[in-house]
Amino acid sequence: MAEAPKPLPTVEAPTLAPAAEKPEREIGTQPKAEPEIIAQAEPQQETFSVPAPTPGDPEKRPEVLAKKQVEGPPAPAKEPEQIASAREQALAEEETARREREQEAVRLEQARKQEEARRQEEARRQEDADAQRQALEFEARRQAEETARQQAAQLARQEALELEARRQQEAKRQEEAKAARLALELEALKQAEEAARQQAAALARQRELEARAQAEELAARERAAQELAERQRAEALAASQRRREAERLGAETASSRAPLAVAEPGRSAAGTIGPGTLSGRDLAAKAVEQSRTPGALREEPPGPPLQAPQPKGTETSRRGSILGSVKRDIGLRMYVESWRWKIERNGNLNYPSSARTRAAENPVVTVVIRRDGSVESVSIDRSSGLRDLDERVRRIVQLYAPYSAFPPDLARAYDVIEIRLVWVFADTLRILEELR
């Protein structure tokens, strides 16, 4: 009997196992074939892992060999060329797998680098976004600060303008007040100058009136002196004639009635009882006295004996009025003119301006002045139609009292003077004589 063929040693599992495990050792020894786990800072990014080996990987070949060994007895030994070819094919496959693994590793590395680049780009974009956001925030803050600064500057300018406006307004108000004060002072000065001018004019008028009155008085005195001298000469001549006639008549009467006078010493020539028989000298003195009285030159017969003067205090007050002999009495005329000028001058200072248009009629006023210059009474003979204006007339008269005392000649003639005049309220106060 023929012997059964012996199996080849290379076909046995122990001899083939190292050849089959070689790719596993090569795969296990190559660090690049192992999948890398990339640590990432951000958990939301994707992670990568090595994909599972394909079914054609050499890692499963030991199982296949074991399965083949279990399934049946080993096949008869092949020829060396086939073994070599199978070995080369296995090596080629191993090389292909290695290259695939390297390519996969390169791909994974590129993917990792791309992911890293993407992550860095994302980080850069995030940084740029943060920087841009910070820049925008900074610009917003800067603009807000600039706006606040501009608003503060605008507010400061507005306050400065308002302050300047208030200052200018205050300066304008002060200038207006100063101008008003100067205007008032100027008006007061003008009024004072006008008052002084009026006073000077009134004084000049008074002096002119006084000078005219003095001249008239002097002329009147000269005329009166001449008239008095002529009258005295005429009276002296008439008195001398009457005296001579009286002496002659007295001598004749005495010679014819001597017996009767001795019998009845108290009886007169007419048979009446008198103070005694008048001598010729007494009759002459009586004639001279009668010649000195008004109308003596026109009265031929001697008047009755003069009455003795009454005691002081029993006679009535002597009153003078401008309605009577003022045109003939120079002294009275001068006093009335002086009083009227004083009232017109000082009355204008207290003259109510409303009276120019409100007075219905010019009042007629009678003022009675005593010889010492005091006012005895003020009476409104014809009212102005306004009670306050009539009272103002009374106040003006009383305000400037007492007036000048009567001159000696006027005081010997009058105790009081009644001045009845018309008060005219026009632009200025005027006092005029009443027309009758």
Q: In sequence order, which residues have a C-beta less than 8 Å from that of residue 392 and are 6 or more positions away?
A: 350, 352, 355
Kindly report the pTM of this predicted structure.
Answer: 0.31
CA 409 from centroid of its chain's CA atoms: 63
Please name the residues in contact with 402: beta carbons below 8 A apart, sequence gap of 6 or more: 372, 373, 374, 375
Token pair recorded at residue 292: 């000195």
The rounded distance, in Å, linking the Cα atoms of 126 and 294 is 147
Q: What is the enclosing helix (H) or strand (E) of 375?
A: strand 375-382
Query: What is the model's pLDDT at position 10?
Result: 47
DSSP state of 270: T
**Alpha-carbon dihedral sign for residues 202, 208, 214, 216:** negative
Q: What is the pLDDT of residues 252-307, one digit of tens each?
A: 776 765 554 444 444 433 343 333 444 444 544 554 454 444 443 333 333 333 33
The domains located in the chain, with CATH, are: 319-436 (3.30.1150)
Q: Tokens in use for 167?
A: 């200052």
> What own/partner pairs with CB < 8 Å and gap ≥ 24 does 65-71 have?
65/13, 65/16, 65/17, 65/20, 66/13, 69/13
What residue type is 219 in one-letter code? A
Over the stretch 137-165, which tens digit does the pLDDT of each residue have? 999 999 999 999 999 999 999 999 999 99
Residue (of 53, 38, 48, 37) closest to 98 by Cα position: 53
Q: Given a cut of 70, is residue 365 above it in pLDDT?
A: yes
Give the per-residue pLDDT at 355. 58
Angle at 102 between CA 98 and CA 108, to 5 degrees: 140
Pair type for strands 364-370 and 429-433: unpaired
Judge contact between 431 and 423, C-beta under 8 A: yes
Please give the pLDDT value at position 9.
Answer: 46
Q: What is the DSSP string of 324-336?
A: STTTT-HHHHHHH
User: What value does the mean pLDDT take over residues 332-354?
Assistant: 83
Average pLDDT of the residues of the chain: 72
Lowest pLDDT segment from 225-229, 240-244, 257-261, 286-290: 286-290
**SS3 labels along 57-85:** CHHHHHHHHHHHHHHCCCCCCCCHHHHHH
Q: 390 Cβ partners below 8 Å, 6+ apart?
A: 363, 380, 383, 384
